[in-house]
Amino acid sequence: MWKLFKREVHHACKAVVGCGLLCGMVGVSPALAQEVWQDSLRSSRGVSLTMPYSDMALSARFIGPAVSDKDWYIWCFSPIWGKDGKVHAFCSRWPAAEGMEGWTGANAEIAHYVADRPEGPFRYVATVMKTSMFPDPATMSAPHNPRLEYVDGKYVLLYICQNPSKEGTKQRVGMMVADNLEGLWRFAGDRGGIMVEASDAPGHWTYQAAIGADNPAFLKIEGKYYIYYKCGTPEHMKAKYGYAVSDKLEGPYEMCDAPITDNVSYLEDAQAFSVDGKYYLLTTDNLGGNSGGWGYLILWESEDGKSFRRADAQIAMGTVFDYWKTPADREELMKTPGLFVRCASGKLERPAVLLKKGKPAYLYGVADVNVNGGKVSEPYVFSVKWKVSKRKSGR
């Protein structure tokens, strides 16, 4: 997936390198950041945005790394409150020695971390999943994209895996369930955990999808269970979101007949959640074609969880550099030898909010630049405010 994506964004990322350092305003000091709202994002200067800002975007405060480990690439950080009052998180990780592409390798795994508070630091607990644990490693490998949920008194872990028996990168969505975060975890359903994969039926919108079905999210709506997934149509860079629905948590799941997002540009990495009776998808806007902001995050809103439209969407967050220190600090950071840089914009990947009292209070995301100067990827924590202002969000 990375190789397909990198071909599309290489030249655009180079453009961001050239302009990004000129697009900043003086940063807010950490002491004041919690109380001071931005009027706009640094990276939006000179940019025509096509969505309004959310309160999250303008109130967010950078806290720091959730996990920092020089020996591992950390990705896909998915947090949840545990029964013990602590914050638990499942994330993807793979050895630093394998480079960024190691996420598809034999040593990729999903690991359990825990912290006493949302700000971290998070400590490694155990490895939950790796290729050798699959029921059929010949058709299931490299677990990735964890989404952790709690429903019906059970913990639900959604993930993707590769299918080595098929040509190309064929990804599928699987599920594990457990009564406790510490396990025992078991594969759900009667297909070794597999819940969603691209359709084999000609004419279905997921037929012959470039990379399969991936980036899962989850909601329970009016007694039914929804797994949201991203799928090419069939080209990867034209990917949209759909859902599969079931009357039972462990399936079987039936895929929707058409995409449920009307995005006009590439998006991925959805998290689904509900607040005050409305349903939300939090996604990336990798190329900026939906919001106007390169690498921004989008907050999609829906009344029923079955249709998400740009007309109802807002900018959820900017890039890490919209909240981290100053443009001068960024310029110095980019000179660091061996610095992990996937895209110099510092866009956030695999976003996830943590709710407190029913509303998003923290956002976690892996940045495409390691702002600590490290050589591997790491997830960062932001505090956010949820729809608290009475002003109309501006463009």
Q: What's CA 66's distance to the chain center, in Å?
A: 15
Verify cis geometry, omega within 30 degrees of 0, for the bond prior to 121: yes
Q: Distances from the Cα of 71 to the Cαs of 97, 167, 366, in angstroms?
A: 8, 31, 16
Q: Is the pLDDT of residue 34 over 90?
A: no
SS3 171: strand
> Both tokens of residue 48?
């025509």
Among the residue ranges 51-55, 195-199, 233-237, 323-327, the one predicted with the least confidence is 233-237
Which structural domain, as residue segments, surrounds residue 227?
2-383
pLDDT number for residue 38: 78
Rg (CA), the chain: 20
Q: Does residue 255 belong to any structural domain of this protein?
A: yes
What is the distance between the alpha carbons of residues 237 and 239, in angstroms, rounded to a whole number?
A: 5
Note the pTM of the prediction, 2 decimals. Answer: 0.91
**Sign of the torsion formed by the C-alpha atoms of 236, 216, 183 and 378:** positive
Which CATH number belongs to the domain containing residue 13 in this structure? Answer: 2.115.10.20
User: How many domains would you assign to the chain?
Assistant: 1
Q: Are 217 and 156 in contact, with CB atoms under 8 Å apart?
A: no
pLDDT number for residue 36: 56
Q: Does residue 371 belong to any structural domain of this protein?
A: yes
Residues 99-121 pLDDT 10s: 999 999 999 999 999 999 999 99
Q: Does residue 392 belong to any structural domain of this protein?
A: no
Q: Does residue 390 belong to any structural domain of this protein?
A: no
